[in-house]
Amino acid sequence: MVPSALGCRVLRKGSPACRSCKEKPLQLVLSLGKMPLANALLTAGQLREPETTYPLDLAFCPKCTLVQITETVPPDQLFAEYVYRSSFSETMLKDSRELAGQLMKSLSLNATSLVVELGSNDGYQLQFFVKEGIPVLGIDPARNLARVAEAKGVRTLCDFFGEKLAYELRLKGSSADVVIAKNVLAHVADLNGFVEGIHILLKKNGIAVMEVPYVKDLIDRCEFDTIYHEHLCYFSLTALDRLFRRHKMVLTDVERTPMHGGSLRLCVAHRGQAQPRDSVESLLRDEVEWKTNRVESYLVFAREVKKIKASLTSLLKSLKCEGNRIAAYGAAAKGTVLLNYCGIGESLIDFVVDVSPHKQGRYMPGVHLAIYPPSRLLKEMPSYTLLLTWNLAAEILGQQAEYLRRGGMFIIPIPEPRVVAATS
């Protein structure tokens, strides 16, 4: 790598091109080092085996402004069997129920309509359309999740979505009135093939509803733990606008939501079928003012990440030296990143708890911390619990009111470490 005039490093010749516009070279923003796959929870037997790690470097495209990681792990390694279940979050279910209601009402969906969801997980979103008699099709490559969705009555195709599959579905008469893609676009290596697939699958007057984590929130809240190998891209509206225009589609509406630490919910239509609302033009102007289209913003973010690492590890070491027991809550991907990047392992954390029975009995990648049910918090009453799934803080603190009442305290690490105790 060589220095650039901007104070960042430009990736060497031979490094990957931009995932969206194919520009070279990209500008390196932050290196989180070599990292295990964030959702690759381990069995007890796997603890004795070598663990594969991959570089985790964040880069910026000066041409289309897309923020992205440089490493692409083969999708089959990430998604063939997937441990994340959307249905285990009440927050996610509530949001999905509301979105389904809004779409059914605003688009007058009925028994002749078709709603297709890309990355449909365990059927958590499409089940609400099924209950109203609206035909659906889920597309998800995870075999275990497809089986769960089918059991809910959600017709599911176990495959990766792209241009080829979209053509096949269209030839079979499965053009969509609505395409939903919630927190899946960031997982896609072939952005252009995926978006072109939506263009092919969507009826002329159809709409696509998409959600992506918003890069502005990542910067402002220093959400470095949302950077992992499944999340290939971190979107601004500017980068999305350029991506969709390349495929003859237009962003018609956008809103910011608190999901996953801050997301964008987008409506996309075929070019010529609708015009962008004021919300789109307004946010595009704001991004110019915020300089999310400039690498300097991300370099400031990188410096803040290093400060969080230093302050969090200092806090945990101090509490441990005082004789406190410390647990962690949430065996999520972001937890893997935070623990491994900060070097937080068995010397600082006694155990991890998670509500998903599919994670209990396993171990966190890299740091090999054991995962138990949340009931262990009340059983052992550690003085402090590091909240790895801080994006669901309100939900989890409510669920753990008894732990707080008994004197337990949570440490929320992002955007800066703080201790939360029971309110009087």
**Sign of the alpha-carbon dihedral angle for 69, 72, 73, 75:** positive
For residue 410, is it left (φ>0), alpha (ψ between -120 and 50) or beta? Answer: beta
Exposure on the CB side of residue 65, measured as CA atoms within 13 A: 20
Residue 209 in domain: yes
Distances (CA, A) of 21 to 64, 100, 198, 300: 7, 33, 18, 25
Residue 309 in domain: no
Residues 272 and 178 in one domain: yes
Count of CB atoms situated within 10 Å of the CB of 374: 19
DSSP 275-322: ---HHHHHHHHHHHHHTTTSHHHHHHHHHHHHHHHHHHHHHHHHHHHT
Domain boundary among 271, 290, 309: 290
Mean of per-residue pLDDT scores for the chain: 92
Residues 194 and 255 in one domain: yes
Residues 45 and 125 in one domain: no
* 3-state secondary structure string across 7-60: CCEECCCCCCCCCCCCCCCCEEEEEEEEEECCCCCECCHHHHCCCCEEEEEEEE
- Domain ranges, residue 353: 1-66+323-424
Q: How many domains does the chain have?
A: 2
- Among the residue ranges 147-151, 251-255, 265-269, 405-409, the one predicted with the least confidence is 147-151
Helix, strand, coil proportions of the chain in percent (round to 5)? 35, 25, 40
Please tell me the predicted confidence (pLDDT) of residue 219. Answer: 93
Residues 49 and 134 in one domain: no
Cβ-in-10-Å burial (0-12, 13-18, 19+) of 280 comes to buried
Task: Quickly state the pLDDT bin for 91 (edges 50, 70, 90).
Answer: confident
Please tell me the predicted confidence (pLDDT) of residue 13. Answer: 54
Computed on alpha carbons and rounded to an integer, the radius of gyration of the chain in Å comes to 22
Short-list 256, 248, 125, 243, CA closest to 181: 125
What does the pLDDT look like over 213-250, one tens digit per residue? 899 999 999 999 999 998 999 999 999 999 999 999 99
Residues 223 and 156 in one domain: yes
- Measured CA to CA, the distance from residue 25 to residue 151 in angstroms comes to 47
Residues 191 and 329 in one domain: no
Residues 259 and 180 in one domain: yes
**Average pLDDT, integer, range 372-383:** 98
Please tell me the predicted confidence (pLDDT) of residue 11. Answer: 66
Task: Quickly state the pLDDT bin for 259 (edges 50, 70, 90).
Answer: confident
Say if CB 328 and CB 350 are below 8 A apart.
no
- Measured CA to CA, the distance from residue 312 to residue 367 in angstroms comes to 16
Residue 237 in domain: yes
**Average pLDDT, integer, range 393-421:** 96
* pLDDT higher than 80, residue 277: yes
Under 8 Å CB-to-CB from 161, ≥6 apart: which residues? 118, 119, 139, 194, 197
Short-list 229, 247, 253, 255, CA closest to 57: 229
Q: What tokens were used for 251?
A: 């962003």
Residues 400 and 358 in one domain: yes
Under 8 Å CB-to-CB from 38, ≥6 apart: which residues? 228, 229, 230, 333, 334, 336, 337, 365
Distances (CA, A) of 117 to 164, 265, 362: 16, 15, 30
Residue 12 belongs to domain with CATH number: 3.40.50.720
DSSP 164-202: HHHHHHHHTT--EEEEEEES-GGG-S-HHHHHHHHHHHE
Residue 227 belongs to domain with CATH number: 3.40.50.150
Residues 90 and 232 in one domain: yes
Residue 352 in domain: yes
Please tell me the predicted confidence (pLDDT) of residue 81. Answer: 57
Domain boundary among 290, 315, 348: 290
What does the pLDDT look like over 51-76, one tens digit per residue? 999 999 999 999 999 999 999 998 77
Residue 263 in domain: yes
Residues 98 and 228 in one domain: yes
Residues 339 and 243 in one domain: no
Please tell me the predicted confidence (pLDDT) of residue 12. Answer: 59
Pairing state between β 409-412 and 384-387: parallel
Residues 228 and 127 in one domain: yes
Residue 331 in domain: yes
Please tell me the predicted confidence (pLDDT) of residue 6. Answer: 41
Chain length of the chain: 424
What does the pLDDT look like over 114-165, one tens digit per residue? 999 999 999 989 999 999 999 999 999 888 888 999 999 999 999 999 999 9
Cβ-in-10-Å burial (0-12, 13-18, 19+) of 124 comes to buried
Domain boundary among 290, 314, 347: 290
Residue type, 259: M
Residue 32 in domain: yes
Under 8 Å CB-to-CB from 14, ≥6 apart: which residues? none
